[in-house]
Amino acid sequence: NAGVTQTPKFQVLKTGQSMTLQCAQDMNHEYMSWYRQDPGMGLRLIHYSVGAGITDQGEVPNGYNVSRSTTEDFPLRLLSAAPSQTSVYFCASSYSTGFSGNTIYFGEGSWLTVV
Amino acid sequence: AQSVAQPEDQVNVAEGNPLTVKCTYSVSGNPYLFWYVQYPNRGLQFLLKYITGDNLVKGSYGFEAEFNKSQTSFHLKKPSALVSDSALYFCAVRDFGQNFVFGPGTRLSVLP
């Protein structure tokens, strides 16, 4: 009963380094997304995808890159890490098919610190 | 554009007392409204949602929420709070583009 799996759980990066946060879901969900959570700001959408080969920007996309080569995987890449990217990152997925009432399911989060 | 407000950063309630966590929303068209709970160092867990039908929605762990269209509210309630209910609660609305818009969150503390 895996659901949405994120790796790594914790990561410390130096400014300027790049890394990839992995996200995989086993529920055959079309829709996948990445959020960042910062104190007092709730969750903000970084990028999202409505199916393999389709990605789009959310509210705060700068400094991040995504791809969706398969239905299951949706990795988030930090191109050149900055201290402002210190945050908790959540991957989430849901069925799509045009029905906005579908529930979205979250991974357990990735805690990223950029020093 | 869709938006969600949670007017209280923090709600404190004594164990055994009823609790309410407030949420108001702004959407164009029919609202699809959700409540999620986040425990420390964990991801968000789905509690309940309103799509259509009965204005009182029942969810997990004894929680319920009341949809009020005229007041554009979707308050989360529980008749008797438990210490284990202490967590961060998020209200969310889903827009036509499939993306969720989350409120800033309300921290619930249930005091023994």
Express each pLDDT in A24-54 by its tens digit. Answer: 999 999 999 999 999 878 899 999 999 999 9
Instruction: Calculate how close chain A gets to B30, using CA atoms only, in Å.
Output: 10
Question: Which long-range contacts does A11-14 make (Cβ < 8 Å, 24+ apart)?
Answer: A11/A110, A11/A111, A11/A112, A11/A113, A12/A112, A12/A113, A12/A114, A12/A115, A13/A78, A13/A81, A13/A112, A13/A113, A13/A114, A13/A115, A14/A81, A14/A114, A14/A115
pLDDT tens for A56-102 read: 999 999 999 999 999 999 999 999 999 999 999 999 999 875 666 78
Does B12 have pLDDT greater than 90?
A: yes
Residues from chain A that touch B43, judged by Cβ atoms under 8 A, are: 4, 90, 106-109
CA distances from B79 to B50, B56, B75 (A): 19, 13, 13
Q: Search chain A and give the residue with CA nearest B44.
A: A106
Determine the pLDDT at residue A1.
62
Distance CA B91, CA B106 (A): 9
The pair of structure tokens assigned to B17 is: 């007392």
Q: Which of B44, B51, B99 sits opposite A48 (nearest CB)?
A: B99
**Local confidence band at A113 (pLDDT 50, 70, 90 cut-offs):** very high
* Chain B positions with Cβ closer than 8 Å to A: 9, 32, 34, 36, 41-46, 49, 51, 90, 94-96, 98-100, 102-105
- Is the peptide bond between B7 and the residue preceding it cis, with omega within 30 degrees of 0? no
User: Taking the alpha carbons of B40, B25, B46, A69 in that order, is the dihedral positive or negative?
Assistant: negative
For B85, list phi and psi in degrees, rounded to 5: -80, -10
Chain A positions with Cβ closer than 8 Å to B: 4, 31, 33, 35, 40-43, 45, 48, 50, 58, 90, 92, 94, 96, 100-109
